Amino acid sequence: MSRADVRRMLEKEQSQASRLRADGRVELTGATDEDGVLVELTSFDVERMGGAEVEKYQERRRRQIADKEAKAEEERRYKLFEDAFTKEGGSRSDARAAYKVMRNDEAERAARLADEVARQQHLSTTKAAI
């Protein structure tokens, strides 16, 4: 077996989500792609892992992808805010603090709205019960 063959085998093994242990049990490798997200399951992984484990793995992978996308969207939103803030004469160092204040205000408004909706639902449920 050539060195290139060994290298290809090792690369393939490193990109798999699972491997068989010596005792016959399946072990997750924790292998990730270049974005730090768990690798997609191969047919070998699915065969080794079984249905319930596959579902848990795929859900974990979906959460990682969603978290990564949310983080990228938040960073994009901050960058737009920072650009507008500095264009109006603010400093980059003050932009982060101002953005945090803005996000806290948004969170407070959302919490108040959710509280009001819950209160209204409670009142309508109580009235309907009477």
* CA–CA dist 18, 9 (Å, integer): 15
pLDDT band at 116 (very low <50, low <70, confident <90, very high): very high
Q: Are 95 and 86 in contact (CB under 8 A)?
A: yes
Is residue 9 predicted with pLDDT exceeding 60? Answer: no
- Does the pTM exceed 0.85? no
Which range (7-16, 24-33, 82-91, 110-119) has the least confidence? 7-16
Q: What is the DSSP letter of 22?
A: T
Kindly list the distances between the CA atom of residue 59 and the CA atoms of 28, 52, 72, 90, in Å, as whole numbers in the listed order: 14, 11, 20, 42
The SS3 call for residue 31 is coil
Kindly list the distances between the CA atom of residue 37 and the CA atoms of 30, 50, 128, in Å, as whole numbers in the listed order: 9, 21, 48
Is residue 37 predicted with pLDDT exceeding 60? Answer: yes
